[in-house]
Chains A and B, each alone.
Chain A
Amino acid sequence: MTSGCEVTRTRFESYLGEALSREERSAVRAHLSECAACRREGSELDPSLLFATAMPERVSDADAARILEGVRAGIALKTAERRVRRVPSHRKRAGATAAAAAAVLLALTLTSPSPARLALARANRLSAAAGPGRTSLPAAAGTRAAVPAGESGSEFGAPAMTARPFSPFAEAGAPGGQKAPADATIYDWNPGGGQPRVVWIVDRSLDI
């Protein structure tokens, strides 16, 4: 028994109790891998010490090549899966984008009066300049103003709203006396400008 054996054997307990420094631990492991007598002594104290000298598992070249081939095949498969998955996701994204754009437009139209009012004021100015005689679209009975009472375009430096409610049903003389939906109001902001431009449709049934 060498001095190395003595030192190692005195360190077994500390080794098992995780109380050795990195260097001391390495020294114990190195000695155990060389000394069969100390391995036997250690295993008698605690059989789990047997595994301190276990060699790394060997991987043959053939095994390594098989793993690499498997990984390549797996990547090819996953790439193909991703490509397949992309198609519906694109469609979904396109649909979602269109829906979002529509929602934003609607929200802007319904909840943000400023741009609409500015447009309305401009339409009013144009309408006033054109004169009442040029209005070719009569107001439909039962239609209501979209701007709440008390609000007007004057605050934007334009005359009060005079845009005429327009009902395509009344104008076209729809067969069977067809009327506009009860809760919908359609405004033409360019009366007399030829083809009516419908710029604001309010559906009161939304209760916004």
Chain B
Amino acid sequence: MSREKPPTADGADPYKPPMELVYSEVRHREQSAELSDRELALAARSGDMVSFEALVVRKTPAVVSVARRIVSDPEDARDVAQMVFLRVWEQLDRYDATYSFNTWIYRITTNLSIDFLRSSRSREKAHGATLHLVRQREEATGAETSRAAEDDEMSRLFREASERLSGKQKAAFVLREMEDKDTDEIARILQCGESTVRNHLFNARRILRKEIEKICPGFVRARRRAPEKR
């Protein structure tokens, strides 16, 4: 079988072995990055681990963010995130692709975070973390803070003040106020009615108000004390 050799300037044989790329994991990863969550989930369901890992990488920030705000501890949040992705891998065949993948993964995240929060280990750790944070905050009182430092301070304050919230109240508040989800989506995530979500939010705000007043009186010193709404 003859092969045509294109002419070259130096006359060298431009022969290349007749190889054809059959599979490239790098290319597969690049292609996976362009797929939607739903497409990745469906590919992962059929056993494509590259797609599953792309999904893990993509969803890690959101999952860790929610888990960290609910369980209050960064290490625990990482553990919860791993459990979330393992649960996703185990239950991918149960995922209904007609619904948003985000809703599904947020549901798993909030459920596992609430379960974690309920465990005695988590309670003990949260108590220890609160004491530590109170000490840290006392040391930092009066310091001029930047916006980033203010965010850190808000996060710490939330961890302390939200200790009294129930798992569902905390999850509803985190999803609404910090993740900026709509109440109908939160209802789907928590698998309850929208009115229940509003109730959780109302009670969460009431409890947070009281706790912040207790923990940090300086914050509300100048507050116009409006009568307590009920």
Contact = CB atoms under 8 A, between A and B. Distances in A.
Physical interaction between A and B? yes
Interface of A: 16, 18, 22, 26, 29, 43-48, 50-59, 63-64, 66-68, 70-72, 74-75, 78
Contacts of B202: 18
Contact of B85 (A54, A63, A71): A71
Interface string B108-136: 00000000000000000000000000000
Interface residue SS majority, chain A: helix
Contacts of A75: 86, 89
Interface residues of B, number: 46
The 10 A-B pairs with the shortest beta carbon distances in the complex, nearest first, are A57-B65, A47-B212, A70-B82, A44-B223, A48-B205, A71-B85, A48-B208, A74-B86, A55-B151, A59-B64
B198 interface: yes
A193 B179 CA distance: 86
24 contacts: A16-B205, A18-B183, A22-B182, A26-B180, A43-B223, A46-B205, A47-B212, A47-B213, A48-B173, A48-B208, A48-B209, A50-B154, A50-B157, A51-B154, A56-B61, A56-B178, A57-B61, A57-B77, A58-B61, A59-B61, A67-B56, A70-B78, A75-B86, A78-B90
B219 interface: yes
Nearest to B210: A47
Interface of B: 53, 56-57, 60-62, 64-65, 68-69, 77-78, 81-82, 85-86, 89-90, 148, 151, 154-155, 157-158, 173, 177-180, 182-183, 198, 201-202, 204-205, 208-209, 212-213, 219-220, 222-224, 226
Interface residue SS majority, chain B: helix
Contacts of A72: 53
Nearest to A71: B85
Contacts of A29: 180
Nearest to A75: B89
A92 to B, nearest CB: 22
A52 B62 CA distance: 17
A169 to B, nearest CB: 58
A71 B178 contact: no
